[in-house]
Amino acid sequence: MSRSIKEAQPLDLRLLPAVLVLWPAAFFGVGLTVTALRVTATVLVLAAALGIGCWLLTSARRRLRGISVRSLLAHSVLCAGVAAAVLLTVANTKDGWVQSGWADAVASDVPVEVTLRITGDAQPLQSRGFDGTDQVRLPVRVLSYRSPGGETFTAVGAEAVAILPAQNHASAGSESTTAAQAPLEAGSRYRGLMQAGQTASTDRVTAVLRPFGSEGIPRQLEPDLWSEVMDRFNGLRQATAEQSQHTLGEAPALLPGVILGDRSGQGAELTDAMRISGLTHMTVVSGTHCALVMGALLGLMRITGVPRWWIPPVLLAGLATFVMLVQPAPSVIRAAVMGGIGALAVFAGRGRTSSALLCLCVVLLLLYDPWFAREAAFQLSVAATAGIVLVGARLNLYFQRWLPGFIAAPLALASSAQLFVTPVLLPLAEGITLYSIPANILAGPLLPLVTVPGTAAAVISTALPWVSQALLWLAGFPAAAIALIGHSAAALPQALAPWPQGVLGWVLAGIYTAAAVLICRAVITGSLGGRGQRLLLSCTAGGLIAVVVPGQMLMAGILGRGLPEDWRLALCDVGQGHMLVIRTAEQSGIVVDAGQEPAEAQRCLNQLAVEQVQILMITHDHADHYGGTPGVLAAADVETVLYSASAGWAPSEALEFEELPELRAEVGQEGIHEGQYPLSWEIWAAADWYPNPNDNSLVVSFDLWDAKTPVGAVGSANNPLRLLAMGDLEEEVTGLMITRDALPAEVDVLKVSHHGAANGGTEILERTQPTVALIGVGEDNTYGHPAAEILESLEALGAGVYRTDLHGTVVFSLAAEGGELTPRRLPRTKRRAA
């Protein structure tokens, strides 16, 4: 070891104050109105002008507690200036949406004709359309729009997401080619009549676009210059993906992800394994990928003796080509800037510049796109890079005291990054990826062996296919090894250690963060000898104990583990759909809806050990409520199907299942089930005449009681616990029923209408005053479910909210003394990829 820890190069943090001011300004600024943004920016500009004046009038020798006053003023001016700049950037962007009328068009229920350009790959959705067809999610840029009856299109330039029927990727057609026939590839332009759905005010995506009826499927327009350029790169991507199919093991699925960021070919098992092992970042285009590409170019130019002044433009050209190859989405541009500046630090040959360049990178990216401040990927990228810059080199020197260099370096890299990203991951992830560090130590050295030859192969995949095929075949070996490492780490015990939510989770996160700060302080100052070494080891062990052990114990204490013997009610995790099970006997129950996927419905009933379904209630004719019915039939014997739907629809005809007693529900219909788990039920709504299928939803209430519960307590025979399941009933019809007093006034448990969508309304929440609210909703769904106003209303009522996207399948038991439900979360099992 050539240097001591204290001799590691110092950090240049002169731009850190600007980052610490700019990031919160961008984070909160994207949620402000245009007026508020401009007023705040004006105040900051005036403050900066005042600071400049004071700087000019202040003597360079004047000091305050040993710090130059002029230096303090300069930092203050810089901070005020960058904060004002980012606020003005947000204000100008939002003002453009308002002035063009796009903001009003999105807020309106009236469909609009839009011209859009696809900016990324189509991602299959787990949730299907209302008609049961598969869907894809596409990032798009709205180029222009026209209101119904309008004569001209108005230019916009806003980011959006389009939800379209899944495609067979055929060749591009003419002006009349529809989306169902044309390829959904980056760069293509489409035009169609779309229904725009609102998004959060803090989101970069301004709208979620869906075709308005079958005639609203967008048609592809004639290609323009950008479309033709992107078509060339799309050809390279397609050729690379095809040539990757001839490689070893799981390399065919992993290679396109590692090289191009295209994970569409990965199965659910591989995706889960990479996530649980902490290796997902390898299949997302990141700063590391960009730095590896630039590093390979730099090495090649130095070997070939290219003049030094050629190096910067060639590196920039290579980086631009790589960005176009992997598609120039905002996340890729962020990665390119991060990786480019990192490579620049290496090229400059001065470690001291790394910290300054990282700060500069953050400033430039937030000024370019303030919405990065709220994105988890950006936060994780900055955190990981900061960890490597701040403590990576010093940890490497420390580890080299006991370990050989080829082990110490990757261990320091993985540890320093993990140390910083964990506090960011805690609020986002389902738990702690316990084996992330050893998995990254093993897989990290393999990443360049895939990225560098794989990128070279992609560039020549159409010009020299036989060469690219050979390069991809070689890259397939390390790619298959990465997949093997991911599977092996994910299969280890407690690979994804649970983490508690709420206050307790934040307290543990604070403990971990405090330990991380102490470790970083010790590492950066070099105080690792003697007592410093013991401090480092103690803090590390304490941090791990605080993260893993209490996390598992508290999750068990809060939501319990496993299936309780006396469970009465289950909210099933069936993705973006709905399914309730109300228990009637040891292995029997009533099922309300079946979700969308048969496998998910079958999995839930198997978990609950339900083998007999006395009544399967289907609330209405949308696939996310009835599509899983074959799974219910496969898991249990179903006695009767009771349903509500639009006129002319029946579940047996839609699903073609074997003959079963099938009855259309009627208002006032009721039933009672005596026995071990007694209950009664009553139908409150079952229309068939509304044009919107949601408003034809079956609304049913259940009264649950236990003979052992004390008389008068909630859950006793004379005061049963009441559950109301609302189907997808929307606000207008719900309001009419409330006006007619045709819904229960108060309930204990409410299955919130329409997955918590805003169109379910809050009036029903105020009327029923639930103690517990249940929301069946898919993770990362594109509908914006559940809506913020619904959650805020439930919070104001003091209701406990259980969501399948956050909690998975949750079962509830009646407390022995009555008065409340006891929740318990069931372990999640692997599911089909979204």
Helix (H) or strand (E) holding 608: helix 598-608
Q: What pLDDT does residue 341 have?
A: 66
Q: What pLDDT does residue 75 have?
A: 77
Top mean pLDDT of 116-120, 755-759, 783-787 is at 116-120
Q: What pLDDT does residue 698 have?
A: 92
**pLDDT tens string 265-298:** 887 778 878 888 888 888 888 777 887 788 788 8
Task: Mean pLDDT check: name the lowest of 43-52, 453-462, 559-568.
Answer: 559-568
Three-state DSSP state, 245: helix
Top mean pLDDT of 128-132, 380-384, 484-488 is at 484-488
Q: What's the whole-number mean pLDDT along residues 62-66?
A: 54
Q: What pLDDT does residue 557 have?
A: 42
CA distances from 290 to 320, 349, 466, 773 (A): 10, 18, 25, 46
| Position 497 confidence tier, pLDDT thresholds 50, 70, 90 | low
CA 276 to chain centre: 15
Hey, what long-range contacts does 535-538 have (CB within 8 A, 24 or more apart)? none
Q: What pLDDT does residue 683 have?
A: 92
* Contact status, residue 540 vs residue 570, Cβ threshold 8 Å: no
**Eight-class DSSP state of 589:** E
* Contact status, residue 240 vs residue 467, Cβ threshold 8 Å: no
* Contact status, residue 613 vs residue 638, Cβ threshold 8 Å: yes
Domain coordinates of the chain in residue numbers?
16-99, 102-223, 227-351+438-492, 390-434+499-559, 567-647+663-825
* Contact status, residue 358 vs residue 10, Cβ threshold 8 Å: no
Q: How far apart are CA 216 and CA 661, in angstroms?
A: 38
Nearest to 580 by CA among 567, 569, 588: 569
Q: Which residues contact 827 (CB under 8 A, 6 or more apart)?
A: 561, 562, 808
Q: How far apart are CA 583 and CA 594, in angstroms?
A: 15
Q: How many CA atoms lie within 13 A of 290 on its CB side?
A: 32
Percentage of the residues of the chain whose pLDDT score is greater than 90: 18
Q: Which amino acid is at 158?
A: A
Average pLDDT, the chain: 79
**pLDDT tens string 198-241:** 787 788 888 888 888 766 678 888 888 888 888 899 899 989 99
Neighbouring CB atoms inside 10 A of 619's CB total 32
Three-state DSSP state, 334: helix
Q: How far apart are CA 561 and CA 354, in angstroms?
A: 46
Q: Which amino acid is at 610?
A: V
Q: What pLDDT does residue 142 have?
A: 94
Q: What pLDDT does residue 475 have?
A: 93
| Position 300 confidence tier, pLDDT thresholds 50, 70, 90 | confident
Q: What's the whole-number mean pLDDT along residues 238-248?
A: 91
Radius of gyration of the chain measured on its C-alpha atoms: 29
Nearest to 430 by CA among 746, 780, 732, 112: 780
| Position 349 confidence tier, pLDDT thresholds 50, 70, 90 | very low
Nearest to 281 by CA among 362, 376, 373: 376
Paired tokens of 86: 């980012």
pLDDT exceeds 70 at position 365: yes
Paired tokens of 816: 């022995």
Task: Tell me whether the omega of the peptide bond preceding residue 786 falls within 30 degrees of 0, making it cis.
Answer: yes
pLDDT exceeds 60 at position 352: no
CA distances from 715 to 133, 398, 463, 710 (A): 42, 62, 73, 8
Q: How far apart are CA 221 and CA 178, in angstroms?
A: 9
Q: What's the whole-number mean pLDDT along residues 105-131?
A: 78
φ, ψ (nearest 5 deg) of residue 36: -60, -40
| Position 586 confidence tier, pLDDT thresholds 50, 70, 90 | confident
| Position 530 confidence tier, pLDDT thresholds 50, 70, 90 | low
Residue with the two structure tokens 């029997």: 588
- From its phi and psi, is residue 705 left (phi > 0), alpha (psi between -120 and 50) or beta? beta
pLDDT exceeds 90 at position 132: no
Handedness of CA 804, 806, 811, 815 (dihedral sign): negative
* Contact status, residue 714 vs residue 731, Cβ threshold 8 Å: no
* Contact status, residue 104 vs residue 198, Cβ threshold 8 Å: no
Task: Mean pLDDT check: name the lowest of 196-210, 519-533, 792-806.
Answer: 519-533
Q: How far apart are CA 665 and CA 340, in angstroms?
A: 64
CATH topology of domain 567-647+663-825: Metallo-beta-lactamase; Chain A (3.60.15)
Nearest to 113 by CA among 46, 211, 188: 211
Three-state DSSP state, 148: coil
Three-state DSSP state, 134: coil
In sequence order, what DSSP letters do the residues of 287-324 get, joined into one string? HHHHHHHHHHHHHHHHHTT--GGGHHHHHHHHHHHHHH
Task: Mean pLDDT check: name the lowest of 383-392, 465-474, 620-629.
Answer: 383-392
Three-state DSSP state, 808: coil
Q: What pLDDT does residue 115 have?
A: 93
Q: What pLDDT does residue 833 have?
A: 34
φ, ψ (nearest 5 deg) of residue 195: -95, 125
* Contact status, residue 395 vs residue 385, Cβ threshold 8 Å: no
**pLDDT tens string 426-481:** 666 556 677 777 888 788 888 889 998 999 999 999 989 999 999 999 999 999 99
| Position 170 confidence tier, pLDDT thresholds 50, 70, 90 | very low
Task: Mean pLDDT check: name the lowest of 134-148, 230-244, 352-366, 503-517.
Answer: 503-517
Q: Which amino acid is at 112?
A: V
**Eight-class DSSP state of 283:** G
Q: What pLDDT does residue 117 have?
A: 92
Q: What pLDDT does residue 493 have?
A: 74
Percentage of the residues of the chain whose pLDDT score is greater than 70: 78
∠ CA(337), CA(339), CA(345), 5° rounding? 100
Q: What's the whole-number mean pLDDT along residues 477-491?
A: 91
pLDDT exceeds 60 at position 807: yes
Task: Mean pLDDT check: name the lowest of 176-180, 311-315, 352-356.
Answer: 176-180
Task: Mean pLDDT check: name the lowest of 69-73, 92-96, 366-370, 406-410.
Answer: 406-410
* Contact status, residue 279 vs residue 496, Cβ threshold 8 Å: no
**pLDDT tens string 738-778:** 888 888 888 889 999 988 888 788 888 989 989 899 998 88
b/e per residue 768-805 (b: at least 16 CB within 10 A): bebbbbbbbbbbebbbbbbbeebbebbeebebebbbbb
Residue with the two structure tokens 């106003």: 789
| Position 175 confidence tier, pLDDT thresholds 50, 70, 90 | very low
Nearest to 354 by CA among 823, 590, 56, 11: 11
| Position 549 confidence tier, pLDDT thresholds 50, 70, 90 | very low
| Position 128 confidence tier, pLDDT thresholds 50, 70, 90 | low
Task: Mean pLDDT check: name the lowest of 149-163, 399-413, 442-456, 672-686.
Answer: 399-413
b/e per residue 1-34 (b: at least 16 CB within 10 A): eeeebeebeebbeebbbbbebbbebbbebbebeb
Please give the residue that has the higher pLDDT: either 332 or 177: 332
Q: What pLDDT does residue 622 have?
A: 87
φ, ψ (nearest 5 deg) of residue 48: -65, -40
Q: What pLDDT does residue 195 have?
A: 86
Q: What pLDDT does residue 453 have?
A: 92
Three-state DSSP state, 115: strand
Q: How far apart are CA 596 and CA 574, in angstroms?
A: 7
CATH topology of domain 102-223: OB fold (Dihydrolipoamide Acetyltransferase, E2P) (2.40.50)
Helix (H) or strand (E) holding 474: helix 465-490
Q: Which amino acid is at 216?
A: G
Q: What's the whole-number mean pLDDT along residues 238-262?
A: 90
Q: How far apart are CA 98 and CA 91, in angstroms?
A: 10
Whether the pTM exceeds 0.85: the reply is no
Please give the residue that has the higher pLDDT: either 409 or 391: 391
Q: What pLDDT does residue 593 have?
A: 92
In sequence order, what DSSP letters do the residues of 426-441 get, joined into one string? TTTSSEEETTHHHHHH
Please give the residue that has the higher pLDDT: either 198 or 533: 198
* Contact status, residue 394 vs residue 462, Cβ threshold 8 Å: no
Q: What pLDDT does residue 519 have?
A: 66
* Contact status, residue 79 vs residue 149, Cβ threshold 8 Å: no
Task: Mean pLDDT check: name the lowest of 33-37, 66-70, 620-624.
Answer: 66-70
Beta 612-618 vs 641-643: how paired, if at all? Answer: parallel
**Eight-class DSSP state of 5:** G
pLDDT exceeds 90 at position 485: yes
Paired tokens of 713: 């307590």
Neighbouring CB atoms inside 10 A of 275's CB total 17
Q: What's the whole-number mean pLDDT along residues 49-60?
A: 70
CA 820 to chain centre: 33
Nearest to 184 by CA among 192, 196, 172, 194: 172
Q: What's the whole-number mean pLDDT along residues 616-633?
A: 89
pLDDT exceeds 90 at position 725: yes
